[in-house]
Chains A and B, each alone.
Chain A
Amino acid sequence: MSELTENMPKKNPLSLQIDPKRFEPASEDEKAQQDVMHASTSFFRDGMRKLMKNPLAVASIITIVVIILMILIVPKVVPYGYDEIIRVNGSRDKTVTNLAPFQYSEKEQAAIAAGETIFPHIMGTDSLGRDYFVRVVEGAKVSLSVGLFASILVLIIGVIYGSISGYKGGRVDLIMMRIVDIIYSLPDVLIIILLSVVLNQTLDPNNPIVKALGTNMVAIFVVFGLLYWVSMARLVRGEILQIKNNEYILAAQAMGGKSGHIIRTHIIPNCISVIIITTALQIPSAIFTESFLSFMGMGVQAPMPSLGSLANSARQGLQSYPWQLIFPAVLIVLIVLAFNLLGDGLRDAFDPKLRR
């Protein structure tokens, strides 16, 4: 300090020069405050950090993870198959149907008395004597995978269509968006029903895909592929219309970048948040549609269960065995709720502008 002031030239009284005597050097502590504590975060990390601060979103992630773990673990642990009618020591038991949760049939009780261990029926059994817990978990698996695959289908078609329309612009855009307008105004559920009626009659039942999924599922996927991508396409197009006027797009074009290359490397990464959010919100809507159709008896092929078809078949015994409805119904609500909240959380974290 003294050194500094000594070396200073004599101060002109009229000078506006700051007097160093009035300052004191920063302590080590204060210097440390100026250090950069974190490496700069990427867009994705920043979004994830915000997402993890949202308790509802975290809770829904946990719910989804628990459900997925259940789907993976339960078939390994529980010794019953989802389409297997329970037998005790190889013989059929008439009292095994419609058991309440944790109840055992007469023969099972006899077997337990004889010292055998029998895995409990956590959710009871259904009207044919199949373990209901395994069926509900299998139903959740079917419903979730329908939601997931349908959303991926929507994602692919919607992004490709929307980006071409938005990037090309002009007459191409006009025609493509008119087509979207028309598809948007078609009543989707009616067309799904119509298609599943028709496909039921016309599809080749020996086709391996049809055999595995059942005609109704094929109809659901066809309709998702045909109709549901329009809102995704609209959103992506809107984003691209904004993005494509940026200078870096012009620069890429000036350097001779092809349309496909520019869309893939410059435009899509910039509208990725819209795409993620819309996909996340598409999953519950697909699960909704599937459970609705299954409930009307137009969903998955028996004996494959889905949450909707389980709820539907529980209707017959509603008065005596209400839990057969309650378990799948609660699970549907839980899954849809979790995905809805997760979608909302993703939207808040990645693109607050989108909030309506």
Chain B
Amino acid sequence: MARYIIKRVLLALLSIFIICLITFFTMNAIPGGPFSGEKALSPAVKAALEARYNLDKPLWTQFWLYMRNMLRGNFGISLKTGREISTTLFTCFKVSAKLGGQALIVAIIIGVVLGCIAALYRNKLPDRIIVFLTTLFTAMPSFVFATFLLLVFCIQLKWFPVWDASEKSLLLPVISLAAYPTAYITRLTKTAMLDSLGQDYIRTAKAKGVRQTGVIFKHALRNALIPVITYIGPELAYILTGSLVVENIFTIGGLGQQFVQSINNRDYPMIMATTIFLAVIMVFCNLLSDIAYSIVDPRIKLEA
């Protein structure tokens, strides 16, 4: 167990390091430095500036310096706004975390409930409706669904204001972010439920006279939740990348919008910082869901 967790942690750290490496070196491959911009500087001033920001050092040294600063929470300064990147990241992250967290919870709850219903009413009307919806929603990109919601509820029905990022209108973004993961979790739960309902221990429990609800919740659902737990990591990655689109459609000032803006502005330090930040979150969540998996399911003898 401990060995497995240590291995996973090491792998995660390695991934984060590689992401930093890729990000740093690809961004540095872009021609032109931060001072080759608007005004032509005299060579002396340029040299002084480069020395001030360590740009005269070899690339590897710069990389180590960047990593060191990053570990201290210092991502440098945005080229566009001139503000500290770390403060911008932090404020944006709060918004995104709220949105993403709600979407995550909504997806898990609705997905598990629908999955159970589909499994219990197998091949009956509720199951067929749910299967139809999940098939449809797994084929629908989040931007299509989000713009449809915007079109129907904000423009045609006018239930929500269009350009407003206030609390109330977080409902639509959450729905559009949660749609795909909900459909996926529904499928996962359904197959897992069907699988565990066919097991011998369910028959034993029924034979012992355990009530239907007891069988479903205590014996079947508990085991059916294991695949759902493993999916939480990828789900979070999906929600984070999905928020790139959804935040832009609903103009919510979170990490996603910040990222797209910084790309359009060619704000390289900001792009670098956001990429690394998002990547670290994703890797970390995958790690957590791996570890949770190993705790929940002791059968996984962690030989990997």
Contact = CB atoms under 8 A, between A and B. Distances in A.
A194 B139 contact: no
A190 B141 contact: no
Interface residues of B, number: 47
Q: Is the interface of B mostly helix, strand, loop or mixed?
A: helix
B26 interface: yes
Interface string B206-249: 00000000000000000000000000000001001100110011
Nearest to A344: B135
A337 B279 CA distance: 29
Interface stretch (A28-36, A73-81, A325-333): A325-333
Contacts of A350: none
A59 B82 CA distance: 56
B23 interface: yes
Contacts of B12: 185
Interface string B131-163: 000011011111110011011000100000000
B136 A337 contact: yes
Interface stretch (B27-35, B52-60, B70-78, B88-96): B27-35
Interface string A272-302: 0000000000001000100110011110000
A93 B113 CA distance: 56
A322 B151 contact: yes
Contacts of A284: 139
Contacts of A329: 144, 147-148
A336 interface: yes
A147 to B, nearest CB: 13
Nearest to A182: B15
Contact of A190 (B29, B260, B264, B275): B275
Contacts of B141: 288, 291-292, 295, 308, 332-333, 336
A194 B270 CA distance: 12
A341 B138 CA distance: 11
Given A185-B286, A187-B237, A356-B191, A198 B29 contact: yes
Given A185-B286, A187-B279, A332-B144, A340 B151 contact: no
A189 B241 contact: yes
Most buried by B among A187, A202, A297, A298: A187
Contact of A319 (B27, B143, B155): B155
B245 A295 contact: yes
Given A337-B136, A340-B135, A182 B14 contact: yes
B144 A311 contact: yes
A190 B14 CA distance: 17
Contacts of B107: none
A341 B139 CA distance: 10
Interface in B260-286: 260, 263-264, 266, 271, 275, 278-279, 282-283, 286
Nearest to B241: A189
Interface size class on chain A is 35 or more
B241 A190 contact: yes
B26 to A, nearest CB: 5
A190 B144 contact: no
A194 B26 contact: yes
A181 B138 CA distance: 25
B11 interface: yes
A105 to B, nearest CB: 25
Most buried by B among A185, A284, A291, A333: A185
Interface string A306-344: 001001100100110010010001001100110011000
A14 interface: no
Most buried by A among B14, B15, B136: B15
B96 to A, nearest CB: 14
Contacts of A195: 26
B157 to A, nearest CB: 13
A182 B30 contact: no
B22 interface: yes
B144 A333 contact: yes
B231 to A, nearest CB: 12
A261 B252 CA distance: 57
16 contacts: A182-B11, A182-B18, A185-B15, A187-B241, A187-B279, A187-B283, A189-B244, A197-B30, A292-B143, A292-B245, A295-B143, A312-B143, A322-B151, A329-B144, A336-B139, A337-B136
The 8 closest A-B pairs by CB, nearest first: A337-B139, A336-B139, A189-B241, A185-B15, A201-B30, A329-B144, A198-B26, A187-B282
Interface of A: 181-182, 185-187, 189-191, 193-195, 197-198, 201-202, 284, 288, 291-292, 295-298, 308, 311-312, 315, 318-319, 322, 325, 329, 332-333, 336-337, 340-341, 356
